[in-house]
């Protein structure tokens, strides 16, 4: 009986959530795109929940832990960091182990702002950053809980990696 060589595939999942900032000057950044909203998210970096959730998915699929293991929020050098750059560094880390991203999927959960007009730009921005197709979708929190009261924004992500 011949042995069948199976492709080396791994899937990872990620989650991130940040509260709304009380600083009216702080921009809302999602997938590296500044979204007009009148408020931003509170965080040590730029608080980009799309990039943070996807970073966790990519790192997790390769068995490298999560974004906080590599970019801790108590590192003063990362204050205000561009999360697209951090995501790119995560992709580089997994590439060093022979993994490449096949595709990724991200869902943003937010009561406000309405994101439908930004989703193509966010998807494109993240796709360029990781050199793979990315689908970014948005869901309303339907008025439920803190997200439904617009106290924060969350994102869920999955990434499929392939190793030759």
Q: What is the mean pLDDT of the chain?
A: 95
Is the model more confident about 64 or about 164?
A: 64
CATH class of the structural domain 18-163: alpha beta
Q: What are phi and psi of 50, to 5 degrees?
A: -65, -55
CB < 8 Å & 24+ apart, contacts of 115-123:
115/30, 115/35, 118/30, 118/33, 118/35, 121/31, 121/33, 122/30, 122/31, 122/32, 122/33, 122/35, 122/50, 123/31
pLDDT digits (tens, 9 = 90+) for 112-149: 999 999 999 999 999 999 999 999 999 999 999 999 99
Residue 9: predicted pLDDT: 97
Residue 164: predicted pLDDT: 75
Q: What's this model's pTM, rounded to 2 decimal places?
A: 0.95
- Looking at residues 55-72, what average pLDDT do you find? 97
Name the pLDDT band for 6 (thresholds 50, 70, 90): low
pLDDT digits (tens, 9 = 90+) for 76-119: 999 999 999 999 999 999 999 999 999 999 999 999 999 999 99
- Looking at residues 50-71, what average pLDDT do you find? 97
Residue 37: predicted pLDDT: 86
């Amino acid at each position: 009986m011949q042995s069948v060589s199976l492709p080396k595939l791994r899937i990872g999942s990620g989650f991130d959530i940040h509260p709304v900032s009380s600083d009216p000057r702080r921009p809302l950044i999602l997938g590296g795109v500044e979204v007009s909203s009148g408020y931003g998210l509170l965080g040590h970096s730029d608080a980009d929940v799309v990039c943070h959730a996807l970073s966790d998915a990519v790192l997790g699929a390769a068995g490298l832990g999560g974004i906080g293991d590599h970019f801790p929020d108590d590192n003063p050098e990362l204050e205000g960091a561009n999360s697209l750059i951090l995501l790119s560094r995560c992709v580089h880390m997994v590439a060093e182990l022979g993994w490449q991203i096949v595709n990724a999927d991200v869902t943003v959960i937010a009561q406000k702002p309405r994101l439908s007009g930004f989703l193509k730009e966010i998807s494109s921005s993240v796709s360029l950053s990781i050199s793979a197709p990315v689908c970014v979708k948005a869901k309303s929190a339907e008025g439920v809980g803190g997200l439904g009261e617009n106290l924060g924004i969350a994102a869920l992500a999955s990434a499929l990696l392939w190793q030759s």
